[in-house]
Amino acid sequence: MGPEHWAWLGAGILSLLSLIVLIGNATDRIAKFWKAINKPNDDVRKDVDELKEWRKSLEEEGPMKEWRKEVDAKLENANTTAQTFDGAYHVLFQTLLALLDHGIDGNNIEQMESAKKAVQNYLIDK
């Protein structure tokens, strides 16, 4: 083998090494580009995951759990009070109807007595 062959062999090896470096650089650039494209999505996903963990911790053992207990108790109390008012309004309107009927028709004693009994029963049940 002459010097010319050694030169061609050296050039071939250098070309191969240059091709490997070129492919490595291209791969690095593509990876960086891909990361840059996905970074906003990854950041948002990370933030959402952190918020979910924060909310979960509040609901399990934080002030949110205590707040929910208080709100549930107040809603239950309000519901019970509203049901009590419904019964009271029914008796009240029955009594007002009896008074109105008595005022218009005169001596409607039976309706007045039944309204009186309804009011007594309501107040006794309270």
The 10s digit of each residue's pLDDT in 30-42 is 999 999 998 989 9
- Per the CB < 8 A criterion, the answer to whether 113 and 95 are in contact is no
Average pLDDT score over residue span 60-72: 78
* Whole-structure pTM value: 0.37
Task: State mean pLDDT over 69-76.
Answer: 89
92: exposed, middle or buried (C-beta count within 10 Å: 0-12, 13-18, 19+)?
middle
Average pLDDT over residues 15-28: 94
